[in-house]
Amino acid sequence: MSDNRPTETHVLYNARCPVCRAEIDHYRSYAEARGLPLVFHDLGTRDLASWGIDEDAAARRLHVRQGGRVLSGVDAFLALWRAMPRYRWLARIVALPGLRLLAHQVYERVLAPRLYARHVARMHRLRPDHTA
């Protein structure tokens, strides 16, 4: 007997990052309204051992687990977008060879490092032993 249900897509994101949280909240609302098999996990509330990464690595980029595979960065976004009918067109376009490489370079060299640097600064400010 085969199970025809779609594979659950698990999304691991940094809820402490306002940009990340806003984007994921949008995707979560979309998925919940349509009953899509997407599960969203804040890295601050998860045991990351099952993801095979530590908190620092998790905070550096988006991660998606689908069918036992953990994807990160642009590949994670592509998996997430493919799991949502409204965004499948975006996944098809970004997955084109030249655009995928460009998206990867922009995400890995510009966007992810900037968001991570802001995260580190935010966590530094929130540390109880931090003195101004």
For residue 6, is pLDDT > 70?
Answer: no
Dmax over Cα atoms in the chain, in whole Å? 63
For residue 132, is pLDDT > 50?
Answer: no
Could you state, in order of their start, the residue ranges of all structural domains in the chain? 9-126
Q: What is the DSSP string of 51-83?
A: GT--HHHHHHS-EEEETTEEEETHHHHHHHHHT
Beta strands in 4-124 (DSSP E): 9-13, 38-42, 63-66, 69-72
pLDDT, tens only, 30-45: 999 999 999 999 998 8
The stretch 72-82 carries a mean pLDDT of 97
Backbone angles phi, psi at 104, to 5 degrees: -60, -45
Provide the pLDDT for residue 128.
Answer: 66
SS3 40: strand
